[in-house]
Chains A and B, each alone.
Chain A
C-alpha cells in the first residue's frame, strides 16, 4: 500500500485537478519553488501560465482570483501563513462570497484558498499561529479542515470542483502525517465521519485534534467507550451525521483549536442541544477567549487545547447527569 504524506496528498490533488481541468490555475507566494512543499513539481508539469508566483500583494491577488473565476477560471490561491486570511478577509467575504447573490445569480466564484500550516507552528508566535476557521463558517464560506492525508486529497479535490469559494485549512499539526492510502477519491463537502465508534460519549474533534481525540479515546478505553466524530467540513456542517451519533451516546464534548467566544465548538454545542436531549451538560475544550499565541514553547502549548484537558472534559461529562 502506498504511504502518502499529507503534503503530498495536497500536491496530488492539485496536480490531478490541473490535469483534469485546464481552467484550474494556482497562485501564491514562492509556489514555483514550492517553499511550502505543496506545489512541488507543478511548475514543470503545467508551466508558468498556470502556476503563478505573485508579488506580496495578497489583497490584490485574492481579488484577482475572484476576477479570473468570474471569467471562467478555477483558481487555487495558496497562503503561506494563516493570518494572511485576516488581510484578505474583505476580499473573500465582501466580494468572492457576495457576488453570486448580489448579481442575481449571474456568476459563480469557484476559488479555493489553501493554507498549508494553519494553527501553531511552535515558535512562529503571535502573528503566525492563528486558526481562524470559525470566522469563515460564521460568514458562511465553505470551510474544510482535513485531518488525514486521504481527506486532504479528497477535500481539496472537492473544493476545487465546487462552484463556490472554499477555504481549506491544512493544520500545521497534521502536515507531517503519513498514512496508507489505497484509493484517492474525492471526499464530499459537508460530510463528517465517525473515526472511532463508541457508546458513551461523542467527541467532536476538528482537524489535527482528531488524532488527539483518538489517542485519548484509546487511553480511556478501559473506562468508557468514546466515539470520535470528525466533521471534516465546518461549513456546511454535517448536522445529520452528528445528531445520529449524539442521539446514540447522549453525551457531547467538542475539542476545537479556535478561540472560545463565537467559536465552532459553541455552534456545534448550541445546534446539538437544540435538537437532541443530552444526558449531561455538553463541554468544550478550545483556545481561550481572545487567544494570542505567546512565543515561548510552553506558553504556546498552554494556549492550545491539550489531551489532558480533553480527558478531564470527557470524564466530567460522563460523571454529570
Chain B
C-alpha cells in the first residue's frame, strides 16, 4: 500500500479535522469530560504516515492522539463514543481521549505519558516479528518527548536489536508552552544519528510528502533495515489542550500563529483534487460524522458497579474500597 492516492489522503485529513472540531463542540457542550488535546493542524502527519502502513502494522500515539487512531482505521463513531465515556466506545468508556486504543487495527493506544510509548511499540514489533509476522511499527511522539530518557533508551534498543520501528517526531515547535529552541540541545535528527539511525525531515503539513518519506522508510525496513526517524515539521493550530480555551496562556506570538495556520494540510491535500470531488468527500465526511455523533451520544453510560471490570486479565478480583 505505497502508491499515491490523493483522494484517500484528503479524506483522512478532512475526517480528522472535522472529527476534532466536532469533539471540541462536544467538550463545550459538556459531553466530553476532561477536554482534549486537539490535533488540528497536524492531520497531515497521521494521514500520510498511516497511508504507507498495512492494517497489521502497529502504531502507538500520544496525548494528542485522535488523528493517529483514526488514520490507522479505527471507527470514528466508536472513537467518539469513547471520548464521551460510553460503553460503546473503543475502550468501553474506560480510556477516554488520552488512552484510546483499537488493537483490531494495530493501535496499541494513545499514551498520556510523554515519551513512554516508543519502547512499548518496539517490544511489540519485536515479538510479532519473532512470531513470523512481516510487520513494521510506527511510534508517534512530540518534540517535547525527545528530551525524555526513556524515548532515547528506546532508540538504542530498536537500533541495537534492529527492530523495524519508524520513530515519527511531530515537531510542532512547542511542548505545551516550551519552545523547541528552549528545550532541545543539539537537534532531533542528531539524536537519531547518535544511535546510527537514518533520519529525515519532512514538511508535516503536506500529507503526500509525509506518505512518500514513510513509504520509503517502510520499504527499507521491510527489506530488513533497522529503525529510522522522521521529523515532521508542523504547527498546532489550536490550544495545547482545550483548557486553554478558558485560560489564555501567553506564549505564541499572534503573527506566528497566523503564519503557522496559513499552511493548512486540509487545503494542501484538497488542492490536489477536483473541486467537485472535494465537495463530495466533504459531504461524505460530514454525513459520517453526523452519524458518529448520534451513535456516540446514544451509547449507554457504564454502570458504576462495573468500575473495576478489566482491571486484571487473570480474573483476579480486587478488594473494593468501602468500609
Contacts and interface: CB of A to CB of B under 8 A. Distances in A.
Interface of A: 29-30, 32-33, 35, 37, 53, 55-60, 83, 87, 121-128, 253, 260-261, 283-292, 294-299, 301-303, 305, 309-310, 312-314, 316-317
B20 to A, nearest CB: 17
A37 B307 contact: no
A285 B323 contact: yes
A125 B34 contact: yes
A62 to B, nearest CB: 11
Contacts of B320: 288
Interface stretch (B108-116, B121-129, B222-230): B108-116
Contacts of A123: 32-35, 96
Interface string B290-323: 0000000000011111111001100000111111
Contact of B98 (A30, A127, A291): A127
A14 B129 CA distance: 52
B249 A33 contact: yes
Interface string B72-112: 00000000001001100001011111110000000000011
A270 to B, nearest CB: 16
B262 interface: no
Nearest to B84: A296
B321 A287 contact: yes
A127 B112 contact: yes
A111 B97 CA distance: 34
B323 A29 contact: no
- The SS class assigned to the B binding surface is loop
Nearest to B247: A37
Given A56-B145, A57-B147, A57-B149, A285 B177 contact: no
A2 to B, nearest CB: 23
A316 B307 contact: no
A238 B233 CA distance: 54
Interface in B1-56: 32-35
A32 B149 CA distance: 23
Given A33-B250, A55-B184, A125 B323 contact: no
B147 A296 contact: no
Given A126-B99, A285-B321, 12 more contacts: A53-B182, A55-B182, A56-B145, A125-B95, A287-B321, A288-B318, A296-B93, A296-B302, A297-B85, A298-B85, A305-B321, A309-B321
- How many chain B residues sit at the interface, stated as a range, is 35 or more
Given A295-B93, A309-B323, A32 B304 contact: no
Contacts of B323: 253, 283-285, 309-310, 312-314, 316-317
Contacts of A292: 311
Contact of A289 (B99, B144, B319): B319
Contacts of A290: 311-312, 318
Given A30-B178, A33-B249, A303-B307, A127 B99 contact: yes
B194 interface: no
A289 B322 contact: no
A124 B304 contact: no
Nearest to B93: A296
B120 interface: no
A299 B85 CA distance: 9
A216 to B, nearest CB: 12
A315 B251 CA distance: 53
B311 to A, nearest CB: 6
B321 A296 contact: no
A312 B322 CA distance: 9
Q: Which of B94, B111, B312 has the most CB of A within 10 A?
A: B94
Interface in B214-273: 247, 249-251
A56 B175 contact: yes
